[in-house]
Structure 1
């Protein structure tokens, strides 16, 4: 059987190329609203971040997503993203990759 190609994405914080399933997409709509996109299909400008709490914390400290998405993000959004990533990481470890 033919091997399927695994789509890779680049993390905007660490610069690592990882499979799309190991990343979370953050999207900015045309209206300027920024949201977490678990499905990866929302319209707008997207940026991928690794599902690693340390990477999200680094993005928060350096305000990386603000520059990449050209938007001003609140600490509340970064906290929501950190909570989401921590939850997803725990699910991956519990269920196995």
Structure 2
């Protein structure tokens, strides 16, 4: 009898949508407290998941990213993460 493996589900902190882990974008706070976009989804540390750059903007306004990562996220961090997500999204569109 074949057993189906369930895909891991995660929720977007911006809009609340629940999707498979691989379909969401991950932002991580590493052991030294640095916040960055995690394109691989495998960097060790506390992570938060987003659907898109638009959800990052929404999470930025309501400070949901700071609560999810349990740390202060600076404006420079938000700007860098936004650029990295835009690059990842445009690279994904080019592959399709």
- Indicate whether the TM-score tops 0.5: yes
2:13 corresponds to: 12
Q: Distance in 2 between matches of 1:30 and 1:90?
A: 29
Q: Aligned-pair RMSD on alpha carbons?
A: 2.0
2:46 corresponds to: 45
Unaligned residue ranges in structure 1 (runs of 5+): none
Asked if the contact 2:14–2:59 (Cα under 8 Å) also holds between the matched residues in 1, the reply is: yes
2:58 corresponds to: 58
TM-score (norm 2): 0.79
Q: Distance in 2 between matches of 1:62 and 1:49?
A: 14
Matched positions, count: 94
TM-score (norm 1): 0.79
Q: How far off is 1:4 after superposition?
A: 6.7
Pair 1:34 & 2:35 matched = yes
Q: Distance in 2 between matches of 1:72 and 1:11?
A: 19
Q: Distance in 2 between matches of 1:90 and 1:29?
A: 25
2:73 corresponds to: 73
